């Protein structure tokens, strides 16, 4: 049984199935996405109108292969081993050489065969986005098949690979295909588990691939040494614009390598996410902010820096303020959930007149309690800061006035302090 995720306009599963089959029969051009989900509904038979049996699922897939408008396919929690007919229908749909795919998404599916993997690999040359999430029994053979297709794909722009074990040969089987790929722009590998060999394989490929624009390695249990190796591999990358290491273990060595990346003359990085750096064995973050702050003095590309949930101190704030008095490029600074307290927030408020690049500042959950702190922000906005558009912190009695001053900044109040303003 494969229950579907019903759209809100359908009262029962029976209505959904009847409508989908009817629209497929008449080749309805408004039906562009097929979504099949085996998670959101209880496992009951079709008479209960909450589930889809295997035969009906196969019928939908085969009819979808005849529709000329289906461009997106999403399968969640489908058990392919319930019958070979599911695999046949799935392969028949993906192997259509004339169909262009906006996206193919396979999440937490089990029982897939090598032929199923080959069908997905075949579709990569006609697909813009592939989501491969937490699928059971993903073998080295399967990853190798995807890797070979990645090497020759000229259509795939985004690859989401999450909750996979990328160790040793498994990692190389997949990643080798990226070394010669010149079309993939976004690589998301959240919750993947790397060993030392897997990190080495990733670093080696990143040195060779000069076309990637976004890399997200959030929650991959990377330690300080791993992050150092990856950052060193990315040093001088000519196109990388977004890098995320959320929920990892970056400390001093990793931060120093990232700082060198930011200081490289070819750096194009516009977004850096280092939120929540914490090793499993330590209750507190050990992220070293100082080298990254110093790199901002000369960096002219970074626009968004996220450092939330890192237990930053007033000393860290001092380093950041010192650099941002010089840096005019950084526009977004996220310091949420750092327990900076009123002391750290006051330091920022008093320096606001010299932080002329910032447009957005986030200070939520920082134990800011005193009205003196919020009044300091309000005064800075009224008298000297003309660039901040968004300030998020604990609600206070000056909130309305702060929002008013921010709205004036967003409306272009900075023009009033320049000479020769056009009428």
Asked if the model's pLDDT at residue 270 lies above 60, the reply is yes
For residue 414, what pLDDT band results from cuts at 50, 70 and 90? low
pLDDT tens track for 205-220:
999 988 999 999 999 9
Cα separations (Å) of 159 from 64, 147, 191, 406?
24, 11, 14, 38
Q: Find the angle CA(305)-CA(249)-CA(287) to the nearest 5 degrees.
A: 55
pLDDT tens track for 84-120:
799 999 999 999 999 999 999 998 888 888 899 899 9
With a threshold of 0.85, does the pTM exceed it? yes
Q: Residue 326, CB half-sphere, CA atoms under 13 Å: how many?
A: 12
pLDDT tens track for 341-368:
999 999 999 999 999 899 999 999 999 9
Token pair in block for residue 381? 């906005």
Please give the Cα distance from 55 to 62 (Å, whole number). 11
Beta carbons of 361 and 392 less than 8 angstroms apart: yes
Beta carbons of 392 and 364 less than 8 angstroms apart: yes
- CA nearest 363: which of 335, 395, 330? 335
Please give the Cα distance from 194 to 313 (Å, whole number). 31
């Amino acid at each position: 049984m494969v229950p579907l995720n019903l759209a809100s306009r359908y009262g029962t599963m029976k209505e959904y199935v009847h409508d989908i089959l009817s629209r497929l029969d008449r080749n309805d051009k408004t039906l562009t996405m097929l979504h099949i989900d085996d998670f959101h509904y209880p496992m009951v038979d079709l008479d209960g109108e909450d589930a889809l049996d295997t035969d009906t699922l196969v019928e939908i897939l085969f009819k979808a292969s005849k529709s000329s408008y289906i461009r997106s396919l999403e399968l969640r929690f489908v058990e392919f081993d319930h019958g070979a007919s599911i695999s046949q229908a799935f392969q028949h749909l993906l192997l259509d050489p004339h169909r262009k795919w906006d996206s193919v998404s396979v999440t937490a599916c089990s029982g897939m065969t090598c032929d199923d993997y080959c069908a997905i690999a075949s579709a990569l040359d006609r697909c813009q986005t592939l989501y491969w999430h937490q699928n059971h029994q993903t073998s080295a053979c399967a990853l190798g098949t995807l890797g070979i297709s990645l090497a020759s794909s000229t259509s795939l722009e985004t690859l989401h690979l999450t909750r996979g074990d990328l160790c040793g040969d498994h990692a190389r089987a997949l990643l080798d295909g990226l070394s010669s790929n010149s079309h993939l722009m976004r690589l998301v590998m959240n919750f993947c588990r790397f060993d030392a060999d897997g990190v080495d394989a990733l670093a080696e490929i990143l040195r060779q691939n000069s076309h990637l624009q976004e890399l997200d390695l959030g929650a991959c249990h990377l330690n300080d040494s791993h992050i150092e190796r990856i950052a060193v591999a990315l040093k001088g990358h000519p196109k990388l614009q977004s890098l995320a290491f959320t929920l990892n273990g970056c400390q001093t060595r990793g931060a120093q390598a990232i700082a060198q990346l930011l200081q490289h003359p070819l750096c194009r990085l516009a977004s850096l996410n280092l939120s929540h750096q914490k090793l499993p064995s330590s209750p507190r973050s050990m992220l070293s902010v100082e080298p990254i702050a110093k790199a901002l003095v000369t960096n002219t590309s970074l626009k968004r820096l996220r450092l939330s949930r890192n237990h930053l101190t007033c000393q860290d704030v001092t380093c950041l303020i010192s650099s941002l008095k010089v840096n005019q490029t950084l526009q977004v600074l996220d310091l949420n959930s750092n327990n900076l307290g009123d002391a750290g927030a006051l330091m920022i408020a008093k320096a606001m007149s010299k932080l002329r690049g910032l447009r957005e500042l986030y200070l939520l959950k920082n134990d800011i309690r005193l009205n003196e702190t919020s009044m300091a922000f309000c005064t800075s906005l009224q008298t000297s800061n003309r660039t901040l558009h968004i300030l998020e912190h604990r609600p206070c009695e000056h909130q309305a006035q702060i929002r008013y001053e921010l709205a004036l900044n967003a409306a272009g109040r900075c023009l009033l302090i320049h000479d020769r303003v056009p009428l």
